Chain A
């Protein structure tokens, strides 16, 4: 379980860095979020 927590922590850091600095990742995240939000709001 300890190993799992480490993996999750690393994935979270990588996720944050990718969204902040990799071109297009933030837009992909927003687009995906928009899709689910639109469905939920109906």
Chain B
């Protein structure tokens, strides 16, 4: 019994090492100007704020990822994006799984308050995230997504809530 207890303590102590590393890296990223990979970053500070007419978003189709910060809470993350018929879209997968819902909290926060800043090529764009759950445009948007990324995003996935899709509309 004593040996079993000791083994549990040893394993717990050893597991504490990677846990500490992950927690430290996550906390460190919170103080950075933007995200890195999966950990949320701090507010997007650097980069000029774009002002002018609505941009031609087609250029994002050649960019793998963009940075997005919600105003509330003011945290940023790296996300995928796609342009379709002149509009910019961002989305979150894994929303149908428990781990995914714990991991991806920004979609729920964005649905509550969609005000966001996108940083693309060192330029910041002030936008309003508007969730899209239905409509015929989903066919074109999901096709654009699967053309750009190795993704299996479908119209059904969006409609059933497995994928939360947002239009990054002009805003703020």
The interface of chain A, by Cβ under 8 A from chain B, is 1, 4-5, 8, 11-12, 15-16, 19-20, 26-27, 29-31, 33-34, 37, 40-42
Known A-B contacts A26-B29, A34-B38; A41 and B100 likewise in contact (beta carbons under 8 Å): yes
Q: Is the CB of B100 within 8 A of A15?
A: no
State the Cβ distance, A34 to closest chain B Cβ, in Å. 5
Does B51 have its Cβ within 8 Å of any Cβ on chain A?
Answer: no
Known A-B contacts A4-B10, A26-B25, A41-B100; A12 and B38 likewise in contact (beta carbons under 8 Å): no
Q: Is the CB of A26 within 8 A of B103?
A: no
Chain B: residues with Cβ within 8 Å of the partner, total of 23
Q: For window 84-115 of chain B, which residues contact chain A by CB distance below 8 Å? A: 94, 97, 99-100, 103
Q: Is the CB of B103 within 8 A of A29?
A: no
Question: Which applies to chain A's interface (DSSP): helix, strand, loop or mixed?
Answer: helix
Instruction: List, in ascending order, chain B residues with CB within 8 A of A4's CB.
Output: 10, 13
9 nearest A-B pairs in the assembled complex, by CB-CB distance: A19-B24, A29-B25, A41-B94, A26-B25, A41-B99, A8-B13, A34-B38, A30-B37, A41-B100
Q: Is the CB of B13 within 8 A of A30?
A: no
Q: Is the CB of A19 within 8 A of B21?
A: yes
